[in-house]
A and B are shown apart, each in its own frame.
Chain A
Amino acid sequence: MAAERLAFVSPRFAGEGAVGGAETLLKNLAIHAVALGIPVDFLTTCAQSHYTWENSLPPGVQTIDGMNVHFFPVDDRDVGAFLRIQNTIDHGHAVGESDELFWLRNGVHSTALLGHLEANASRYRAILTGPYLFGLTWSTAMAHPERTLLIPCLHDEPFARLSVMKRLFRDAAGCLFNSHAERELAGELFGVPDAKARIVGMGIDPIEADPEVFARRHGISTPYVLYSGRREPLKGTPLLCDYMQAFRERTGRDIQVVFTGSGAIDAPDALWPHILDVGFVSETEKHEAMAGAIAFLHPSVNESFGIVLLEAFLAGTPGLVHAQSRVLVGQCRAAGAGLWFRHYPDFETQLLFLLDHPEARAELGRRGHRFVADEYAWPVVEQKFIRALDALCPA
Chain B
Amino acid sequence: MLNYLDQTFQALADPSRRAMVERLTRGPASVSELAEPLPMSLPAVVQHLQVLEASGLVTSQKVGRVRTVTLQADVLRQAESWMVAQRTLWERRLDRLGDLLAEISEEERL
Do the two shown chains form a genuine complex with each other?
Answer: no
Partner-B contacts on A (CB < 8 A)? none
* B residues with CB within 8 A of A: none
